[in-house]
Every structure is written in C-alpha cells, then in structure tokens.
Structure 1
Amino acid sequence: MIEVFKTNVQEVEQSIMIVGKLLEHFPNSAINFDLEDCDKILRVHGSAISNHKIIEVLNSHGFHCEVLP
C-alpha cells in the first residue's frame, strides 16, 4: 500500500527528522519526501499504514499534513 500526503515541510533537515519519527511507528516502511514538488509530497509505502497516525506525527512536530486523493 502506498499513501501520498501533501505537507508544508520545507527543509531537508526537517524531512530527515520526520522520516526518522515515522519509521519508529512504521519500521518496515519505505518513507520519503519530494521537497521539489509544490505540495512537498510525503510518500509512505508499507503493509500497515495508518493515515491518522502519520498526520498525527507531523502535526505533533508543527507541520501540516493531508492525504492526497
């Protein structure tokens, strides 16, 4: 399963920190950002993904995150 999210993460350092935090919750997932995209895309590829938890993790670090349809 692959989920794609729109975020407001701007910096590479921020994306690295967020990926680390998400991997704590989803250790067997592939997680990456596309900061070149205007929507600052976050992609999460894994077998057991919780959109709610991903959004919660980003929100808890002060970032906006929403599922892209």
Structure 2
Amino acid sequence: MIGIFRTNISSVDDKNSVVTAIFSQFRVDACSVDIEDCDRVLRVVSPARLEEAVIIDFVKTLGFTCQILE
C-alpha cells in the first residue's frame, strides 16, 4: 500500500514527530513529509494492507489536517 496525503505539517519538528509516530504505530517500510511542497505531502509505504482512513484519523489525532491527495 502506498498512501499519499495532503497535510498542514509545516515545520521540521512537526514532520519528525509525525513520521516517528507513524513508524511506532504502524508497520511501514517508508514514511516522509515534503514540507517544501505546497500540499505538504505525506507519503506512507506499507507492506501490509493499511486503510487510508486509519492514517488520516491517526494524523488528525496528532493535531494536523490530513486528506487523500488526488
């Protein structure tokens, strides 16, 4: 599963805390946030079937907006 999401994560500290939280909560191969992109793109790569809604809800609990990037 590869999930690509639009967020409002804008600082390096926020990016690092979100990526660390995702790695600790889910089984993922890769996770990154491009804070230079206008959509602040969060990309999550998981070997398992991981529902996009689960990632969205989790990021929202961390205090950020998150939606599927179309």
Q: TM-score, normalised by structure 1?
A: 0.89
Aligned counterparts of 1:15 and 1:56: Cα–Cα separation in 2: 17
Q: Which residue in 1 is equivalent to 2:54?
A: 53
- What is the distance in 1 between the residues matched to 2:19 and 2:53? 16
- SS of 1:36's partner is coil
Q: Say whether 1:32 aligns with 2:13.
A: no
Distance in 1 separating the partners of 2:22 and 2:66: 13
Match of 2:3 in 1: 3
| AA at the equivalent of 1:62 | G
Instruction: Tell me the CA shift for residue 27 of structure 1.
Output: 3.1
CA separation in 1, counterparts of 2:61 and 2:32? 18
| Unaligned runs of at least 5 residues, structure 2 | none
Aligned AA (1:2): I
Give the length in aligned residue pairs: 69
For 2:51 and 2:19, the matched residues in 1 are separated by 15
Structure 1 portions without partners, runs of 5+: none
Q: Which moved more, 1:29-38 or 1:43-52?
A: 43-52
Q: What percent of counterpart residues are identical?
A: 35
Partner of 1:17: 17
Task: Provide the alpha-carbon RMSD of the alignment.
Answer: 1.2
